[in-house]
Each structure stands twice: as structure tokens, then as C-alpha cells.
Amino acid sequence: MPLLGVQLRIGDRHVVMDNGLLQVTLSNPDGIVTGVQYNGVDNLLEVLNDESNRGYWDLVWSSPGSTGTAGAFDVIKGTSFKVIVQTEEQVELSFTRTWDPSLGSKLVPLNIDKRFIMLRGSSGFYSYAIYEHLKDWPAFNLDETRIAFKLRKDKFHYMALADNRQRYMPLPDDRLPSRGQALAYPEAVLLVNPVEPELKGEVDDKYQYSCNNENNQVHGWISINPGVGFWQITPSNEFRSGGPLKQNLTSHVGPTTLAMFLSAHYSGEDLVPKFDAGEQWKKVFGPVFMYVNSVYDGDDPLQLWEDAKTQMMIELQSWPYSFPASEDFPKSDQRGNVSGRFLVQDRYLSNDYVSANGAYVGLAPQGDIGSWQRECKNYQFWSKADEDGYFSINDVRIGDYNLYAWVPGFIGDYRYDVVINITAEMALHYGKLASLIVLQLNFMFLILIQSISTNSMSIILTGLDSMACGKDMQNSILITT
């Protein structure tokens, strides 16, 4: 039976995307997800909540000069709705909110374009947003931004974010004063009289379920009856702040699931981007994928976690997506790649260079050594070296970067001082050998950039077998178009 094409129904107050597998309802023109109908369940989102408190983009912002990480909470509601793509293969919708100087300090000075996408045959939907601060606009701080989904508490009781981090969760009512005791901060509650007695004495705290960006790829909830899962899949970390080791929230009691893009959790004010008056800035957050799945009657609903992991790998391998319509989201043929080898010398271990097995190697905006940990305005791209120290950083957005690296088990941080410029044409000055030795404490790091390429050109450095410090390194350069 052929898969049904994507249908779009537009009403005065709501817009519905329907591909025959699920229906997603959004408020018009707010762009709040008010309903997800799937597998016979009329709405996977909490129907007891107000429509504005089910599935939404939000942010926290503060005035310039503010200290700390607190600010004004803002559920982002669009003021204009537009259909961007409408075919049987795909529907893409835009809900925009435009800032006007007459608003003054009543609203964050950003133009925000929220997008939602549904594809034929896809058991879920995508969302991304474009934030823009224009020249001559006032200064502000952006403390946090994310997507939040509030699921039905009568159905979703089992949460999973890793093979070894999944369980039946306390109920939202267990956190109420009649059943729970607030501790040192409001997120932490001691369960003194929970609905399920075996949970008595536990502490529920959403921060218990945080994880590093590098591992924050899929998490969500399972309903046992019916056997349905709701998952948040993040296929790339390029739009997240703080690098691969920055911790972020995932899912927690609510039941709630989050797509975190920018936050100061575990870092403080260093990861609050501060925008000056007149500073031009634009960034695309996402796309991320909200995936739903189900099991046949009689099958174990907990199998849905394995299926969600499989879908997560499909999304990772599809990045960067080819279907978002915004010109601000570059496709694969508009991006570049950098590959090479990373070696380390520790005179207490060996006089020779050794392969940096498992090294983290990444491209981030120009800065000091280690500055990638505090970078929170732009994009970062990371990979891990193999056992021989070889690495490949793929699908990098056009721009100027420093290359940063560190090796687990070795003290010290590395930065390659030459600016790496990823352009659509790929300038020929990368024909010279890109190598550098940096002394850091007791360690010497050697980075050999073997190739930098885009879809239209590749520059390959060969003959990199002479690794010793101070020796001439012979190279041949092959340029292909």
C-alpha cells in the first residue's frame, strides 16, 4: 500500500499537518504544538494543560549589564503564519515574530522564525528556528532557549535516555507538598508519600538526568498502555553551545522532554551570550526530530527504546538534512570537511610521538586555548580521533575557525594557531603543509591537517610520514575540482 502524501489543513485558529501516520496540530499564528495524534491516541500531549503549555519554543533573556543567569521567561508565540512548502512529499510551515523598536524592552530584540516540517512516510516531525539580531538594535543577554513538550501524565510513566539510564518515573503528583518535601532548591524533592510506595525516600531532581552534549542524542518517554513512545532526537551538536562536554537537561518528571540549544546550566554566566547594541547575529537552532513509535499488541513496549536508537542513527547519518527550505540552513554541498592526524608526545612515556587515540578534535570560532568551552554564539564541529589519531570533521559551515583538541588522559589543551577558513571556493593557500607543534606543560602536540575540502575542491596533503620535531616535512599537493 503506497504511503499517503502529506496533507495540510488550515483553519482560523489551528493548522494541521497529516501524513497518515500522525497528525500534528499547531495554533495559528502562534506556532504552539497543541496536539499530536498517533496510533489511536487522540493527543499524546497533556490535554489538561492550556494549549500554550503543551509543545513550544521558549527563551530566557535579560537586559544588558545583568549578572547571573536569570531573566524574563518567554514562550515564543508567532504573530504571522506562512506556508513555505506544500507538496505530497513535504510540508514546511513558518511562524514568525518580528521585533519592532516601538516595543522597547517589553520583548527580546530578536526576529524569530519557527519552522515545522512533516515528510511523507515519516513517523514524526521536525522543528528548527532562525534567530536574528539586526544592526542598530539594542543590547541584550540570551540566557536560554529550547523546545519543551509536556506529555500526558496518565500515559507516559517510563523514561529512557541511555541503555543504563531508564526507569519507571515518579508521578508529577509525587512532587506536590502533600507527597513530597522540597529540599535545598525547588527542583529537588524528597518523596515522602509517593503514589508508588516503593519510591518512598527517593529524591526526584531533573538535574539527575542531564548528560553531555556528545551523548544527548535521543531521549524520551514510553506509554505502556497503549505501547507508544515519544522521543526527542538531536542529530547534530553544531548549534549547541559549550562543546561536546557541556551538560544539558534531557527529559524529566512532568512528563517533559526537552531539546536544549543554549543554557547556562552547570556553567553559569560564562555561557550566557551577551549581544552589544548594533551587533549583527543570526543563528539556526536545529532541526531536531520528534519521533513517535509503537508496538503491536502483546509486544514489550520497552522495545521502543531500541527502535528509537535505530531511528537516531538514521537521523545522524542523514545530517545535514537536505529538506529544510531556509537558505540559512546550508546543505552538504555548501559545507566543507577537514581531516588529519593528531599525535602527542609525553616525555614521561616516550620520546616518540604517539597516536592520540580517542582525542577530541573540533572546529570552533577563533579564540584562546580552551575558549570553545565558553563559546555560545556560533557553531562548533567536533569529532573523535581513531586509535591511530586520524580524525575527520565533516559538513562544516562556511566560516573562520580555530582547530582545538585534547586527549583524554593527558593534561593540556591544544589550539592550532592558523585560522582555518572554510569557503565555498576553498582558497588555494591551504596548499602548504598545515602542521604545528605546541609545547603545553609536559606535552607536545602535533597536528597534521591532511585535507580541507568542499564539494567543489579538495586539497590533499600527502607524504606526512616524517613526524619528528624540527625535521623538514616533504609534501605533495593534489588539487581536484
Full 3-state SS string of 278-308: CCCEEEEEEEEEEEEEECCCCCCHHHHHHHH
- The CATH number given to whatever domain includes residue 262 is 2.70.98.10
What is the residue range of 295's domain? Answer: 7-317
Give CA angle at 366 (217, 463), nearest 5°: 85
Number of domains in the chain: 2
For residue 327, tell me if it sits in a domain. Answer: no
- What's the pLDDT score for residue 447? 57
Tell whether 238 and 361 lie within a shared domain: no
Q: What is the pLDDT of residues 260-315, one digit of tens each?
A: 999 999 989 999 999 999 999 999 999 999 999 999 989 999 999 999 999 999 99
Query: 43 with 190, same domain?
Result: yes
The predicted structure's pLDDT at residue 461: 34
Which three cell numbers mark 445?
A: 602536540
Give the whole-angstrom CA distance, residue 205 versus residue 185.
Answer: 10
pTM: 0.90
Contact 140, 223 (CB under 8 A): no
**Contact predicate 45/27, CB 8 Å:** no
pLDDT at residue number 94: 98
Same domain, 131 and 249: yes
Q: Are residues 350 and 465 in the same domain?
A: yes
* pLDDT for res 117: 98
Chain center to CA of 84: 23
pLDDT over 90 percentage in the chain: 75
Q: Which pLDDT score is estimated for 1? A: 60
Instruction: Using the predicted structure, report yes or no on whether residue 145 has a pLDDT greater than 80.
Output: yes
The 10s digit of each residue's pLDDT in 201-219 is 999 999 999 999 999 999 9
Alpha-carbon distance of 165 to 198, in angstroms, equals 18
- For the cut 60, the answer to whether the pLDDT of residue 437 exceeds it is no
Looking at residue 434, the DSSP 8-state letter turns out to be E
Longest Cα–Cα distance of the chain, Å, equals 74
The pLDDT of residue 442 is 34
More confident: 3 or 401: 401
pLDDT score of 438 more than 60: no
> With bands split at pLDDT 50, 70 and 90, how would you rate the model's confidence at 449?
low
pLDDT surpassing 60 at residue 429 = no
pLDDT at 474 (0 to 100): 26
Within-domain flag for 400: yes
Q: What is the pLDDT of residue 383?
A: 96
Query: Which tens digit of pLDDT belongs to each residue from 157-209?
Result: 999 999 999 999 999 999 999 999 999 999 999 999 999 999 999 999 999 99
Residue 255 shares a structural domain with residue 350: no
User: For the segment 335-351, what is each residue's pLDDT rounded down to a tens digit?
Assistant: 999 888 888 887 777 78
Is residue 144 located within the same domain as residue 246?
A: yes
Based on the fold, state whether residues 295 and 339 are members of the same structural domain: no
CA distance 244 to 241: 9
